[in-house]
Amino acid sequence: MTVLEAWNLTKTYRIDSREIRVLDDVSLAVRDGEFLVITGASGSGKSTLLSLLSGIDRPTSGRIRIGDSDITDLPEDDLAPLRNRTIGFVFQAFHLVPALSALENVMFPAELKGDPQAGERARALLQRVGLAERLDSLPHQLSGGEKQRVALCRALVNQPRIVFADEPTGNLDSRNSQTILALLQTLRQEQRSTLVLATHSGTIARAADRCITLQDGRIVATPAQGPADAQ
C-alpha cells in the first residue's frame, strides 16, 4: 500500500535575475511501513525534497499525496493540522524550543492536537530513550545526543504515519549517531510508522529497505529492491 507519492516535483528559486533549480522532475512512491533513504552529496536537493514531501515547503510544480490527501494546494489552515496528525520530522539542528523543558518540547505537538494524554505520552517516550532524569532540563542543559533524543520523541509523540528525518545524525559523534539510528528504527517499528530519511551516510543507507540517490536535483539511481519492495 502506497502511503506517500510525488509526481514530477520541481523547485526553483529566483536570485536577482537568475533562476536556481534545486529539484528537477522528481517522482517517487513510498510504501506503508517502508524505511526509505534519500542519499546524495551536499547540495543535491535532499533537504528540499523532504521539505516538499512533508508539506513544510511547496513545490514550484508537481503534485504530492499523503494517504488519500493531495497536499499540494491545501491552504495552510488545513495543511498544518494534517501535518501535526500525520507527520513527524527530525531535523539535523534539533529545533527545540529554548524556553521549554525536554518534557514540554515533546508534549507540544500532542497539546496542539488536543491530546489529553500529551504529558503521559511524552514521559513514556522520554523514559524509553533513557531521559527519565532529564524531563525538566532546558535544551541548553542537554548534550547533542540528548537534544536529538528529545527531538526524536517530539517527532513520534503523535504516533505519526510518516516520520521524516533530515540528516538526524549529522551533528553527532559516531557513538551517538548509532544510538539515534537504532532508537529511530526501533520506535518507528513499534509505532508502525513509515520512515523517510535523508543522509549522506553509507552506513545508514545500507540499513534501509530501499535507497534512492539524488544528484543535482534529479534521481540518478534507485538501487536493488529492499525488503519492503519484496512484499
pLDDT tens per residue across span 140-199: 999 999 999 999 999 999 999 999 999 998 888 888 888 888 898 898 888 899 999 999
pLDDT of residue 176: 87
Q: What is the dihedral of CA 203, 205, 208, 210, to 10 degrees?
A: -150
Band of pLDDT at residue 222, cut at 50, 70 and 90: low
Q: Count CB atoms within 10 A of the CB of residue 33.
A: 18
Contacts of residue 194, defined as CB under 8 A and 6 or more positions apart, other chains included, come to 3, 4, 30, 31, 32, 33, 34, 35, 36, 161, 162, 163, 188
Give the span between the Cα atoms of 181 and 191, in whole angstroms: 15
pTM: 0.90
Q: Which of 5-19, 87-101, 129-143, 198-212 has the lowest mean pLDDT?
A: 198-212
pLDDT of residue 203: 81
Tens-digit pLDDT profile for residues 47-89:
999 999 999 999 999 999 999 999 999 999 999 999 999 999 9
Fold of 2-230: Rossmann fold (3.40.50)
- Is the per-residue pLDDT at 223 higher than 70? no
